[in-house]
Amino acid sequence: MAPQKKTRTAHPDAPTSSTFLSGPFDQLYRDHVDVMYRFAYRLCGEVEAAKDLVQETFLNAYRAYDRFRGDAQVSTWLYAIASHACLRMRRKRKGEPDRELSLEEFVPTSEGEFALQIPIEGLSPQEALENKELRQILDRAIAKLPRKYRMVLVLRDMEGLSAKEVGSIVGLNERAVKSRLHRARLFVRKELSAKGLAGELNRNVHTRLE
Amino acid sequence: MANRVRTYPGTRKPTPHQGHGKRNCVKILERLSAYLDDELSGDICREIRAHLGDCPNCEVFLDSLRHTVQLCQHRPSPSLSAKDRAALRRQILKGAVSA
């Protein structure tokens, strides 16, 4: 549902500002903070950075509220604000540009690279993820993704948005979203199939249901 | 429990490419996400299935990609505690007022 824009003025110090803050904007925060925190945590991989991103997202939403046209869902609008804020915050911390992922680097070169070297046979994804080691390996793989690829993977495969919605959030057409998503998935797959992980997991296999 | 947890895909051992040029496999690899997401036409799906039937390596690769996507889709994310939610709200409202 689109927020009620009429209560907001362009001047935060105007009398209606506090009404807006304690009314519609507060409601917007309450309705979406959990989704935005989940998204922020998935992007950042740690609690404090996720909280910073949520704070930045809602402050930017407050400032940009006058320009929200209501032709997108509020959640999509907030995802876009969070995505931009995330890219800006990370750019400040680390100046390096994102590297591009090419399909060639994901073509297996030996027999062992075709399968996942992780012990999940016969387990549902939920059961497999009860293994702390596996969760950590997956999280590390996602964290290693160049940020523009991680953004698309998180939005599409973790937040469950459509390719079209992801495109409107990150400013790409559907074809480009799908291409980026495929490379991101191949990257994570390759990380999960990397040699050395199986040994590490197998040694800890009895801690699966700790 | 330990016998349930084995290196995937377990009993099926990949064999070298049989009568398939690597170029074919790379062509299949390019389309596997679209295949998993059910975005391809029937003709292309049939072409991919025919290749997979003949190429155990590509089939194992597809399974490993499917599992990767499923793990991402089901990875739980921690939620915000009520205390943190309230603290964050205070900070945001304070920041908005002073903006």
What is the ipTM for the molecules in this complex? 0.82
Average pLDDT value for residue range A162-175 = 96
What is the three-class DSSP state of A103?
Answer: helix
Tens of pLDDT, residue by residue over A29-74, are 999 999 999 999 999 999 999 999 999 999 999 998 888 877 778 9
A150: Cα separation from own chain's centroid: 7
Question: In whole angstroms, what is the distance from residue A39 CA to residue A126 CA?
Answer: 19
Q: pLDDT at position B95, please? A: 86
A21 to B71: CB separation less than 8 angstroms, yes or no: no
Listed ranges A82-91, A153-162, A193-202; the one with the highest mean pLDDT: A153-162
The residue with greater pLDDT, A61 or A193, is A61
DSSP state of B77: -
Of residues A12, A128, A188, nearest to B99 (C-beta): A12
Q: Report the pLDDT value the prediction gives residue A80, as an integer from 0 to 100.
A: 95
Higher pLDDT, A171 or A131: A171
Mean pLDDT rounded to a whole number for chain A: 82
Q: Is pLDDT above 80 for A195?
A: no
% residues pLDDT > 70 (chain A): 79
HSE-CB of B91 using CA atoms within 13 angstroms = 14
Enter the DSSP assignment of A110: S
Looking at the complex, report in whole angstroms how far the Cα of residue B39 sits from the nearest Cα belonging to chain A. Answer: 10
CA distance A6 to chain B (A): 18
CB contact under 8 A, A182 and B14: no
User: What's this model's pTM, rounded to 2 decimal places?
Assistant: 0.82
- Beta carbons of B7 and A117 less than 8 Å apart: yes
- Find the range with the poorest average confidence among B23-27, B63-67, B87-91: B23-27
A198 neighbourhood in chain B, CB within 8 Å? 7
Quick one: DSSP state of residue A113? Answer: G
Contacts B65 to A, Cβ<8 Å: 185-186, 189
The stretches of chain A forming alpha helices (DSSP H) are: 15-22, 24-44, 47-64, 74-93, 125-128, 132-144, 147-153, 163-170, 174-192, 197-203
- How is B37-70 classified by DSSP, letter by letter? TT-S-HHHHHHHHHHHHH-HHHHHHHHHHHHHHH
Residue B4 binned pLDDT confidence (cut-offs 50, 70, 90): very low
Predicted pLDDT at A138: 93
Are the beta carbons of B39 and A178 closer than 8 angstroms? Answer: yes
Three-state secondary-structure class, residue A35: helix
As a whole-number percent, the residues of chain B with pLDDT over 90 amount to: 63
